[in-house]
Structure formats: structure tokens, C-alpha cells
Structure 1
Amino acid sequence: MTKTTSGVISRRGLLRGFAATAISAAPVYANAAGFLRGSGDIRRINMYSGRTGESIDTIYWVEGEYIPEALKEVTYFMRDWRNSKLKAIDARTVDIMTAAHRLMETDEPYMLLSGYRSPETNAMLRARSGGVAKNSLHMRGQAADLRLKSRSVSQMASAAKSCSAGGVGTYRGSNFVHMDCGVVRTWNG
């Protein structure tokens, strides 16, 4: 970034830095990152889990770079809460969640219902419900089921669909939205 002679960052230098950050983020995951451009040079995710009682509020991307330690924290937070198994969470999914959250203009953290699911958990859920995919992206660490008290399922789904960056499942009866970094598609559960 550009500094003035007094050592303080100038407005023009700051804007150049933001522009450079937006451009460098574009190749990573263009559609979701597009909604994050111009929002500064950081990306932050804020969630809590009613299942574990844990919460996370972390900056996971700064100045065009993902922060590996922060993504490890996200992976741990989004683990299969039934058996504590882990799978690295795809940063593209976190970007979609972050972009949708920003579009909704809320400070409320997401409630995470389901992040990574082990094959055992996925099979158990499939046996109980017809709405669980056999090859769910949850098992690849590429999906999340989320809820917000301050936004309707329709509002959340609209924000996620606006990203045009992955799958968006709307589950009005269960009051949550599924977001993933797979192919762009939508469905109602």
C-alpha cells in the first residue's frame, strides 16, 4: 500500500490496495469472490453451533491470501459433531457463506446445523430421511446447512443464489438453507 510522507496510509493508496485485492481474489472463485470485492482486504466468518455450544468468529482471508490456521479452525468448528471426525472445509464454501452473509447485511452469526458429515453420519441420516444425498457434498467438506434468526429461509436462499457460485437448497419446513461449492443449481427440500 502507498504511504504518505508522514507514514500514514493515504486514501488513494488504501483504495489501490483494495482494488488489487479484489483482482487477485477473482481467480480463486470468481462468482462468490465478486460479492466480496470492494469490501476491504479481509474476509470473516461468524457462526455458532447449537449442537456443540461452540462459536467461531474469525478472519480467514487477508490481502489476497487465505490464512491456513484460520481455515483449520473453520474445519474443526464444522467437524461432524456426532463423531468428531474432520475433513478440510473447502474455502470456496466459506467464501459463498461469507458473500451471502454480507449481502443480507446482518451482524448476526450463522447457526451451523451441519458442515462436514462422515460417511457413517451421512448413511444414518439417509436411512432416516429421503432428503439426504448418497454422495452429499457434506462428505467432501464442501457444504453447510445454515440458519439465521433475523432472516427468512427465502432471504437466505436469495442471497446465496445471487452469488451464482454453487448449490443452494431451500428447506422451509426445517428452516435452513444448504450452501455448497458444487455446480450451480437450486432445489427445494
Structure 2
Amino acid sequence: MYSERTGEKIDTIYWIEGDYIAEAIREINVFMRDWRNNQMMDIDTRTVDIMAASHKLLESSEPYMLLSGYRSPATNAMLRSRSSGVAKNSLHLKGQAADLRLASRSVSQMARAAAACKAGGVGKYSSSNFVHMDCGAVRSWGS
């Protein structure tokens, strides 16, 4: 996974034989921080699991581009003021969501893979070329 905004890259094994690796989870928390103000929150590992399972289903060697992971309340409020598509109580605020892109896969392909996991929310944002994945209730939206 890499961040277009910060230029950072992460390629780490975070889980082995049923156990999360604490060091890797810390690295993920740093990587998925709010890049606008460097605030961090523990990222829900269920979201990371959905991202990993979806990526495996896509059979892609290309890393995800992370557009948004954790969002601080200030960042979420700023984004809400600019777009009606940003939820007031977004799961990004809880470290339970990620907005992702793959150059080699369409939004529809990514959304189908995430939905196949039947583990959380999947939002298609075709006009912005990204998919939202979260570990909340199973649901889908967008076009």
C-alpha cells in the first residue's frame, strides 16, 4: 500500500497463523493516520482484514493507493464542508474505514471483491475512482 499524499509505502505481513503482529499493526496505524494533521488512531484490524482479503481476491500485485484512513474530527468537518458525500459520523473517525484505489482494477471490480467478503460496508465512488471499505454493517452504495 502506498500514500499518494505523503509518498510513504508499506508492505508488511501483519498476521501469522491467527495472530496479529503488534509491530506491524503499529506500522499500519502510523501509515493510515490523518495525513493532514498527523493524528493517529488504532485502525480496526477488521478493516485491514477486509482490505487484505479483497486484494487477494483481485489477484493484483499492485499495492493499494490509500486516499483516506483515519480522519480526525477536524479533517472530517473540513471535508464535509466541501462535499455532501462525507458522512457526519463517518467510520473513518473511528479508524474503521479506508478509501482505496488500484490503477489496474476498476471501481466495480474492487467493490465486487470487497462485497464478496460480506464483512462490512462498500462504497463505490466511480467519478472519483476509489472504493470505500469499512468494518461496519454489511451494506453497499454508490455507482
For the superposition of Structure 1 and Structure 2, which TM-score range results when normalised by the shorter chain? over 0.9
1:70 aligns with 2:24: yes
**Structure-2 residue corresponding to 1:170:** 124
Match of 2:82 in 1: 128
- What is the identity, as a one-letter code, of the residue corresponding to 1:166? G
The reply on whether 1:89 has 2:43 as its aligned counterpart is yes
Structure 1 vs Structure 2 CA RMSD: 0.6
SS, match of residue 81 in structure 1: coil
C-alpha distance in structure 2 between counterparts of 1:172 and 1:62, whole Å: 34
Alignment equivalent of 1:145, drawn from 99, 108, 114? 99
Gaps of at least 5 residues in structure 1 are 1-46
Q: Structure 2 stretches of 5 or more lacking a match?
A: none
Task: Report whether the alignment pairs 1:110 with 2:81.
Answer: no
Q: 1:64 deviation in Å?
A: 1.1
* Residues in 2 aligned to 1:115 and 1:75: alpha-carbon distance in whole angstroms: 9
- Aligned to 1:59, the other structure's residue is in SS state coil
Query: Percent of aligned positions with the same letter in both sequences?
Result: 73
Structure 1 letter corresponding to 2:92: H
1:14-29 counterparts in 2 under 5 A?
none
TM-score, scaled relative to structure 2:
0.99
Deviation of 1:63 after TM superposition, in Å, equals: 1.4
Q: Which runs of 4+ in 1 moved over 6 A?
A: none
3-state SS in 2 of match to 1:112 = strand
Aligned residues: 143
Which structure is higher in RCO with an 8 Å CA cutoff and minimum separation 6?
A: 2
| TM-score, with length taken from structure 1 | 0.75
Q: Which has the larger radius of gyration?
A: 1
